[in-house]
Amino acid sequence: MVFVRWNRLKHSLLSMVLFGGWFGLIAPLQAEPLKVVATTGMIGDLVENIGGDQVALEVLMGPGVDPHLYKATQGDLRRLQRADVIFYNGLHLEGRMQDVFEKMARFKTVVAVTHEMKKDTLIEADGGTDPHVWLDVGLWRQAGQAVLATLKSKRPQQSSRLEEQAEAYFAQLAELDAWVQAQTDTIPASQRVLITSHDAFGYFGRAYGLEVRGLQGLSTATEFGLNDIKRLKDLVIERQIKAVFVETSVSEKFLRSLVEGVRESGHPLRIGGKLYSDAMGMPGTPEGTYLGMVRHNVSTLVQALK
């Protein structure tokens, strides 16, 4: 009887060792996805395409949200506290949240995707650095490299897979970059002037050969006055510009007042359409992705200015 019980005990112990060993090998492959929080949809799009099923993503700022003026809610703070990794733009885009990121960085991975960008690739204006780097498709790949490096550091056993996903997405960005240049080249040289609500499109203009003017400065928190409106009005009439553009994340009230003022002077200026600058479109739509957002912007510009 004692012998039988000992055999049963040995069998049980052996089973535990064998199955425990197998589960030990399987467990890393079944690791929970990284909890990642991104501030903007554009950053979230990078994380989603590069991270794939290795990340569980939450984006704080949805369609139509202005990151310059955004203030974190209590729900946002809870999401940030639960996250394994936080990605934000930096360069004071999320100006009201900077202190939060600095505090969180003391005990978790917090990454500004623009942090490693070389100074000579950035635009200095209005006494600061322009944060709207995603509107230069080629430059935005560098933000993707920052995302890739961070995810690899958190999931080293998945490095090859993450690199493959990143390279596939970077190839799409290269194709998009070439397409944008080909499209903007079709706009007559005299009409390559992009006027919007605020100076969000500086990187876009530099990359693809457009002169960019905004009613406000780099931030929508920047104040403007009658002289700013008059300056743009004179430019529109002098250059015979056909259209100006509103932004989905900024009130169009003041830009419409510019249009009305120009029309009173006899020049048929119109609103050329809405552009996505600081936020992408609704989820489930083409404009709800970075690629679709850029394509929408370029198609809208070309149709109005060509």
Which range has the worst mean pLDDT, 17-31, 154-168, 191-205, 216-230? 17-31
Residue with the two structure tokens 């119109």:
270
Q: Is residue 16's pLDDT more than 80?
A: no
Q: What is the pLDDT of residue 17?
A: 41
Residue 151 three-state SS: helix
Give the residue extent of every domain in the chain: 29-178, 182-305
Q: Which residue has the higher pLDDT, 67 or 17?
A: 67
Token output for 156:
């080293």
Q: Which fold has domain 29-178?
A: Rossmann fold (3.40.50)
How far apart, in whole angstroms, are the C-alpha atoms of residue 84 and residue 110? 9
How far apart, in whole angstroms, are the C-alpha atoms of residue 235 and residue 86? 42
- Phi, psi for 57 (deg, rounded to 5): -100, 140
Q: What is the pLDDT of residue 166?
A: 98
Residue with the two structure tokens 């501030």:
39
pLDDT tens for 115-125 read: 999 999 999 98
Q: Which fold has domain 182-305?
A: Rossmann fold (3.40.50)
- Phi, psi for 196 (deg, rounded to 5): -135, -175
